[in-house]
């Protein structure tokens, strides 16, 4: 499942861009973490590789749009009084 997707993505991307990585923290349900670990173990892949391929597959048809910049002094929706 993931092998064909990762090969297509690697072929489509510039090698310089493909090698760029960034450490990021997300809160993921424990059940999902256990599934990721098990999948990575049985497929003999790293967890990061499994997560990257899964996210790439999920986002492959998504039209990427820039996130608008916040105006200086503007409140985020979370900060507004309700």
- Domain-embedded: residue 72: no
Torsion over CA: 32, 56, 26, 79 (sign) = negative
Q: Residues 1-57: pLDDT tens digits?
A: 555 555 555 555 566 666 688 889 999 999 999 999 999 999 999 999 999 999 999
Domain of 33? 2-60
What pLDDT does 14 receive? 61
- Please check whether residue 79 lies inside any domain of the structure: no
Tell me the pTM: 0.57
The Cα-based distances of 9 to 21, 41, 42, 69, 75 in angstroms read 15, 22, 22, 29, 38
Decide if 48 is inside a domain.
Answer: yes
Determine, yes or no, domain membership for 53: yes
> What local confidence, expressed as pLDDT, does residue 16 receive?
63
How many domains is the chain built from? Answer: 1
In a domain, 74, yes or no: no
69 is a domain residue = no
pLDDT at 75 over 70: no
């Amino acid at each position: 499942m993931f092998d064909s997707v990762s090969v297509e993505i690697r072929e489509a991307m510039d090698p310089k861009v493909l090698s760029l990585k960034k450490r990021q923290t997300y809160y993921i349900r424990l059940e999902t973490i256990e599934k990721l670990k098990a999948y990575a173990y049985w497929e003999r892949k790293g967890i990061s590789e499994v997560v990257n391929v899964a996210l790439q597959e999920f986002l492959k048809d998504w039209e990427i749009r820039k996130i608008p910049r916040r105006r200086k002094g503007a409140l985020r929706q979370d900060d507004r009084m309700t």
